[in-house]
């Protein structure tokens, strides 16, 4: 018996309304907003600077504060990320003592935020518009997960709003701790080509790739019904916006009637079982979410010999940084598959990646 379905309706590219689970590669068209920023109020207590020149210095990392953009001037930001923001803006400055990768998070803010990092010449370093789509962090709330900053250089961090929106924000600047998934030497490589601007997913894009015949990748176990699968996922640029790589798989249930799937990824990632097996109606039957370097386990049940659909991809459709091309490794371990020979040539992960250099 399948678990309860979320009841989402997907279009031709499977893009659901923001805030709901989606199997798509891109965000649906954003609603055109016509909000007018409130007039500047000179009595507002300034949590951050009202202009570039008045940017409030951040003394170090970690740094956490709260504030509001209500009553501030509109001085930023016109860069596409993938949309431009023109709400009231609050400015901070930061000069790291040494090279650092930082996370800038607005989780807990109560309005439609925008978040930008610029260098001292006001060149864009990183940006994010929509990272969170609901509780507990808020709807259309921003987070830059990793921005690479050089020691001794001056940077500006700008908190703004989309379409003239303003409100109360929660601001946290912390060091981003890289996580690395070690891929076992015996793992079967995904073999998908590297992501690039204008990438066409003819490999395992499943229902997101109708122009390529809805390609799924078969996950085949060894004689013990086990498979270690070394995958790659991430984001890429497409016609001035970002898309995420979604990997669609088929797997055959073994004699026990249970497939245990474990996902371990270098970024927050989803592992879905999909049902029904029809691209016009497909939905999420059950899900697991793997936070960076923390595994999630999904048990999929079915009659021995039955085919199941699985899906792996990032939790966010937009990358939480800049530029849009960003790849990461994941390890998918499956036990309880139908026993059989591995249907792909075994090569080391390094050897496969070398093919595309």
Q: What is the pLDDT of residues 179-237, one digit of tens each?
A: 899 999 999 999 999 999 899 999 999 999 999 999 999 999 999 999 999 999 999 98
Question: Does 20 fall in a domain?
Answer: no
Single out the residue in 175, 210, 245 at which a domain terminates: 175
- Count other C-beta atoms under 10 Å from residue 4's C-beta: 7
The Cα–Cα gap between 209 and 265 comes to 23
The Cα–Cα gap between 315 and 333 comes to 19
Please check whether residues 274 and 350 belong to one and the same domain. Answer: yes
pLDDT(19) > 50? no
Single out the residue in 121, 149, 175 at which a domain terminates: 175
- Would you call 264 exposed, middle or buried from its count of C-beta atoms within 10 A (0-12, 13-18, 19+)? buried
Look at residue 139 in the predicted model and tell me its pLDDT: 87
Question: At 27, is the pLDDT very low, low, confident or very high (cuts 50, 70, 90)?
Answer: low
Please check whether residues 162 and 230 belong to one and the same domain. Answer: no
Please check whether residues 170 and 216 belong to one and the same domain. Answer: no
Look at residue 9 in the predicted model and tell me its pLDDT: 25
Look at residue 193 in the predicted model and tell me its pLDDT: 96
Question: Does 182 fall in a domain?
Answer: no
pLDDT(111) > 70? yes
Please check whether residues 337 and 306 belong to one and the same domain. Answer: yes
The Cα–Cα gap between 110 and 132 comes to 12
The CA-atom distances, in angstroms, between 314 and each of 13, 83, 278, 320 are 16, 21, 22, 11
| Tens-digit pLDDT profile for residues 68-89 | 999 888 778 877 776 778 889 9
DSSP SS3 for 354: helix
Question: Does 10 fall in a domain?
Answer: no
Question: Any idea what the CATH number is for the domain that residue 95 is in?
Answer: 2.60.120.380
Look at residue 104 in the predicted model and tell me its pLDDT: 96
Please provide the average confidence, as pLDDT, over all residues in the chain: 84
Question: Does 235 fall in a domain?
Answer: yes
Question: Does 8 fall in a domain?
Answer: no
Please check whether residues 306 and 279 belong to one and the same domain. Answer: yes
Question: At 351, is the pLDDT very low, low, confident or very high (cuts 50, 70, 90)?
Answer: very low
Look at residue 1 in the predicted model and tell me its pLDDT: 34
Nearest one of 278, 352, 267 to 318, comparing CA atoms: 267
Please check whether residues 160 and 220 belong to one and the same domain. Answer: no
Question: Does 270 fall in a domain?
Answer: yes
Q: Which of 33-37, 130-134, 165-169, 256-260 has the highest mean pLDDT?
A: 256-260
Please check whether residues 208 and 86 belong to one and the same domain. Answer: no
User: CB-side exposure of 148: number of CA atoms within 13 Å?
Assistant: 3
> The tokens 């001035």 sit on which residue?
240
- Ranking 3-12, 121-130, 148-157, 288-297 by mean pLDDT, the lowest is 3-12
Q: What percent of the chain has pLDDT over 70?
A: 82
Look at residue 6 in the predicted model and tell me its pLDDT: 29
Q: What is the mean pLDDT of residues 231-258?
A: 92
pLDDT(353) > 70? no
Look at residue 326 in the predicted model and tell me its pLDDT: 85
Look at residue 93 in the predicted model and tell me its pLDDT: 96
Question: At 30, is the pLDDT very low, low, confident or very high (cuts 50, 70, 90)?
Answer: low
Look at the chain and report how many structural domains it folds into.
2
Look at residue 42 in the predicted model and tell me its pLDDT: 54
Please check whether residues 275 and 349 belong to one and the same domain. Answer: yes
Look at residue 36 in the predicted model and tell me its pLDDT: 57
Which residue range is the domain that position 235 belongs to?
188-354
The Cα–Cα gap between 327 and 151 comes to 25
Please check whether residues 101 and 218 belong to one and the same domain. Answer: no
| Tens-digit pLDDT profile for residues 305-340 | 999 999 999 988 777 665 567 899 999 999 999 987
Please check whether residues 168 and 197 belong to one and the same domain. Answer: no
């Amino acid at each position: 018996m399948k678990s309860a379905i979320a009841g989402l309706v997907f279009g031709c590219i499977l893009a659901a309304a923001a805030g709901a689970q989606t199997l798509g590669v891109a965000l649906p068209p954003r609603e055109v907003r016509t909000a007018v920023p409130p007039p500047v109020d000179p009595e507002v207590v300034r949590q951050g600077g009202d202009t570039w020149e008045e940017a409030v210095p951040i003394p170090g990392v970690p740094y956490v504060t709260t504030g509001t953009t209500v009553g501030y001037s509109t001085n930023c930001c016109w860069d596409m990320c993938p949309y431009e923001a023109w709400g009231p803006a609050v400015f901070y400055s930061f000069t790291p003592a040494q090279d650092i990768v930082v996370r800038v998070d607005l989780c807990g803010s109560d309005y439609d935020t925008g978040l930008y990092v610029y260098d001292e010449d006001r060149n864009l370093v990183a940006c994010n518009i929509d990272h969170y789509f609901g509780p507990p962090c808020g709807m259309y709330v921003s987070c830059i997960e990793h921005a690479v900053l050089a020691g001794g250089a001056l940077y500006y961090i700008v908190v703004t709003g989309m379409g003239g929106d303003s409100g109360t924000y929660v601001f946290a600047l912390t060091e981003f701790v890289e996580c690395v998934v070690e891929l076992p030497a015996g793992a079967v490589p995904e073999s998908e080509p590297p992501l690039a601007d204008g990438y066409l997913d003819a490999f395992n894009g499943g229902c997101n790739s109708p122009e390529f015949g809805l390609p799924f990748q078969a996950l085949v176990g060894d004689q013990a019904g086990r498979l270690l699968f070394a995958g790659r996922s991430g984001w890429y640029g497409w016609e001035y916006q970002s898309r995420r790589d979604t990997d669609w798989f088929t797997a055959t249930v073994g004699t026990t009637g249970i497939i245990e799937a474990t996902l371990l990824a270098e970024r927050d990632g989803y592992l879905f079982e999909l049902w029904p097996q029809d691209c016009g109606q497909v939905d999420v039957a059950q899900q697991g979410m793997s936070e960076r370097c923390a595994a999630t386990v999904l048990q999929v049940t079915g009659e021995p010999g039955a085919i199941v659909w699985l899906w792996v991809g990032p939790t966010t459709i937009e990358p939480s940084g800049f530029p849009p091309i960003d790849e990461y490794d994941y390890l998918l371990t499956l036990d309880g598959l139908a026993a059989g020979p591995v249907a792909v040539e075994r090569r080391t992960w390094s050897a496969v990646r070398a093919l595309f250099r």
